[in-house]
Amino acid sequence: MSKYLKYIMIASLGLLLTNCASQTYKIKKEGNKTVTKGPAWYMADIAEKEACNKKRFGKTKNKECIYGVGTAVSPSLELAIDKAKMIAKAEMADIIQGEMNKRAELYITEVGQENNKQVVTKVESTIVNIISKTKVQGYEEWNKAVYETGDGQYRDLDGEEMEKKSALKKIREGEYESAFRKKQGQKTAELSEGPPSLCVYGDS
C-alpha cells in the first residue's frame, strides 16, 4: 500500500511542478513599426462581469466598480509596471473626487507711439483639474498587457478596479476624519490660550 502511495505522491508532485512551470507570461514584441492596435479593454471596452467579478446570483450581482487604466514605457519592466499602475490609480482618484476649475482672464493694453496707439486685447482661459487627497485603497488589478518596444524597452498597460461602494465609504471616512481633526485642533487652540492666570502672593 505504501508503495502505491509513494508513486501517487511522486506523480502529484510532478504535476504540481509542471503547473507551476507553465504559469509564465509571454511578452509580445511590438517591432519597429508604429503601434496601430491595442487591447479593447484599455480603450474602455470593459467586460464588466469579469472585471468587477460580478456573479449572476448572490451579494455581488448588483456590484458596481470604478475603473482606471494607465500605460507607461521604461527600460525597467518593474518601473514600467509601477508607473502604469500609478496612472491607473490617479484616474480612479479623479473619478472618485476630482474637481474642475475654470479661470478666464482678460488683458487690455495700449501699444504704439503717443499719436498712433492701438488697443490690444488678450483673453486667456485655463481649465484646471484638481484631485485632492483621495484614498485609493482596496483596488485590484483586472487586466494587464506587457510589450517589448522596438528599441528594447517595456510598455505596460495596466487596468485597476475598485468597488464603487467601498470608494464612497472611504470618502465619507476621510470627511469624518478631516472634520474630527479640525475640531480637535480648535479644542487644542482653546486649551493653549486658556483663562488668564491668577497669581496670589503671601505676605513677605
Q: Summarize pLDDT for 143-156 with one digit per residue, the tens.
A: 999 999 988 899 99
Residue 4 lies in a domain: no
pLDDT given for residue 3 in this prediction = 57
Residue 133 lies in a domain: yes
Residue 200 lies in a domain: no
Q: Which three cell numbers stand for residue 72?
A: 507607461
If one counts every other C-beta atom within 10 angstroms of the C-beta of residue 73, the result is 15
Residue 13 lies in a domain: no
As for how many domains the chain has, the answer is 1
More confident of the two residues 126 and 51: 126
pLDDT given for residue 204 in this prediction = 47
Q: Using an 8 Å Cβ cutoff, are 63 and 54 in contact?
A: yes
Mean pLDDT of 133-139: 81
pLDDT given for residue 74 in this prediction = 96
Mean pLDDT of 88-111: 88
Residue 37 lies in a domain: yes
Element (H, E) at 173: helix 164-193
Closest CA to 110 of 121, 119, 100: 119
Domain range for 106 is 26-182
Residue 187 lies in a domain: no
Residue 123 lies in a domain: yes
More confident of the two residues 161 and 175: 161
Residue 132 lies in a domain: yes
